[in-house]
Amino acid sequence: MSEERALRRAVYPASFDPITNGHVDIARRAAAIFDEVIVAVYDTPAKSLVFTTDERVTLCQDALKLAGIENARVAKYSGLTTDFAHREGAQVLIRGLRGVSDFDIEFQQALMYRKLAPDIEVLLLMADLKYTFLSSSIVREVARLGGNVSDIVPPNVLAALREKFDNDHSPAPVPRHLHS
The predicted structure's pLDDT at residue 177? 43
Indicate whether 180 belongs to any domain.
no
Mean pLDDT to the nearest integer, 115-123:
98
36, 72 Cβ separation under 8 angstroms: yes
CATH number, domain at 93?
3.40.50.620
Indicate whether 2 belongs to any domain.
no
The predicted structure's pLDDT at residue 175? 44
Report the alpha-carbon distance of residue 63 to residue 50 in Å, rounded.
Answer: 17
**Residue-range definition of the domain harbouring residue 104:** 9-168
| 3 state DSSP class of 27 | helix
Indicate whether 62 belongs to any domain.
yes
The predicted structure's pLDDT at residue 179? 41
23-60 in b/e form (b: 16+ CB < 10 A) is: bbbbbbbbbeebebbbbbbbbeeeeebbbebebbbbbb
Task: Provide the domain count of the chain.
Answer: 1
Q: Does 47 participate in catalysis according to the annotation?
A: yes
Strand ranges, E, within 8-66: 9-14, 36-42
Q: Does 177 participate in catalysis according to the annotation?
A: no
- pLDDT tens digits, 44-63: 888 889 999 999 999 999 99
Indicate whether 179 belongs to any domain.
no
38, 8 Cβ separation under 8 angstroms: no
One of 9, 28, 29, 98 is an active-site residue; which one? Answer: 98
Indicate whether 177 belongs to any domain.
no
Q: Does 144 participate in catalysis according to the annotation?
A: no
Indicate whether 175 belongs to any domain.
no
Indicate whether 176 belongs to any domain.
no
pLDDT surpasses 70 at 69: yes
Mean pLDDT to the nearest integer, 59-68:
98
One of 23, 56, 95, 140 is an active-site residue; which one? Answer: 23
